[in-house]
Amino acid sequence: MKETDILIVGAGPVGLFTVFEAGLLGLNCTLIDNLDKPGGQCAELYPEKPIYDIPGVPFQTAQEHVDALLKQIEPFNYELNLSQRVQLISKDGDYWIVETNQGDKYKTKNIFIAAGAGSFEPRRPANIENPDLLLDKGITYAVRSIDHYKDKEVFIFGGGDSALDWTVELSKVASHVSLVHRRDQFRGAFKTEQEMRELVKKEKVTLYTPHLIDEIIGDEKVSGVKLKNFETLEITEHKADELLFLFGLNKKLGPILDWELELESKKIAVNTSTFETSRKGIFAVGDINHYEGKLDLILCGFHETTLAVQEAYRRIYPGERVPFGYTTSNKKLQKKLGVVD
């Protein structure tokens, strides 16, 4: 069983920054995430959207933000385990034993739950059996790279902000974009809806309402799609290279609900001095926690985890003063960062 100073559940921005703050104190971390890449919501939901409210960084796309965080933690000792869900926790004296759904076990004095909205999965089209058969072969649930859709015949499904945003954005690179929605009303920003409707007038986008998907066509790769008109029940067949389903996410606290933590507003209650939960040695930082005045913003998560690692240090080195220094001038910190010998 591997031992680690801090076991971090979730490799979103707050989980990643925990590695940095822990590293400055000389603590090592193990990150576990059920997604196949680090970055949490930033990487999964909106990698190419701009973020304007990271202190000192006037503009960064969400993926650039994740890449910068990964760069920032390079000097530190950490392990990143992806595509695994943290499932079980149990107590062993002063330690916690953490087990993943793949049976890997870790021993630690500090669990940091940086699980955001919980483990989340994109909603699939309900009426299609096994839509993931052609996953990444013409079926996608998020835009990881705009280039992927370049010069392709793209069908986007959904009626919210993501569907509208990506219809507008991808129409700039795709050979053609079609937007399919079950009714002719959208839940997204009115301005984006207007932009989309302008593109329809210019024939850069085709709008199918009230429609839903009826069948995916293709063996090795998507080659087309059948759509059903909700009112007339007519089925039409179309050539397609990419089907992008943007029905939102199912967010579930999942196994975290079984860890006997006090909850508030469906999130984990914490005290705001240490961000510890109702159980000693278990901390909750970032979007997953709740306290009076809580805001689901990246910078709030950074603040929370910076304070939480202080308490984690005290649990590992009881009675010792937690070292404090400025990275601008403290030689020990600069050594840890690898910027001086």
Taking residues 142 to 181 in sequence order and writing x for each that binds ligand FAD by CB under 6 A, - otherwise, the string is: ----------------------------------------
**Strand, helix or coil for residue 32:** strand
Contact window for ligand FAD (CB under 6 A) among 13-21, 124-132, 167-175, 274-282: 13-21
The residue with its CB nearest to ligand FAD is: 116
DSSP letters, 183-247, are SS--SS-HHHHHHHHHHHHTTSEEEETTEEEEEEE-SSS--EEEEEETTT--EEEEE-SEEEE--
Q: Which of 177, 222, 298, 309 binds ligand FAD (CB under 6 A)?
A: 298
Check binding of 88 to ligand FAD (CB under 6 A): no
Rounded-to-integer distance, Cα 304 and Cα 309, Å: 9
With a CB cutoff of 8 Å and minimum separation 6, the contacts of 307 are 273, 274, 275
* Span between the terminal Cα atoms of the chain, in Å: 34
Touching ligand FAD, residues 232-291 (CB under 6 A): 254-256, 286-287
Considering the complex, what minimum distance in angstroms separates the CB of residue 121 from ligand FAD?
Answer: 9
Alpha helices, DSSP H, located in the chain? 13-24, 40-44, 62-72, 161-170, 190-201, 298-316, 331-336
For residues 112 and 308, the answer to whether their CB atoms sit within 8 Å is yes
**Closest CA relative to residue 10, chosen from 250, 284, 260, 299:** 284
Q: Which of 6, 22, 27, 45 binds ligand FAD (CB under 6 A)?
A: 45
**Closest CA relative to residue 66, chosen from 82, 85, 86, 48:** 48
Q: Which of 296, 306, 316, 337 binds ligand FAD (CB under 6 A)?
A: 296
Contact window for ligand FAD (CB under 6 A) among 39-47, 152-160, 223-231, 316-324: 39-47
Considering the complex, what minimum distance in angstroms separates the CB of residue 255 from ligand FAD?
Answer: 5
Contact window for ligand FAD (CB under 6 A) among 115-123, 202-210, 310-318, 333-341: 115-123
Check binding of 118 to ligand FAD (CB under 6 A): yes
Instruction: Give me the residues that bind ligand FAD (CB under 6 A), please.
Output: 9-15, 32-35, 40-42, 45-46, 51, 53, 85-86, 114-119, 254-256, 286-287, 296-299, 301
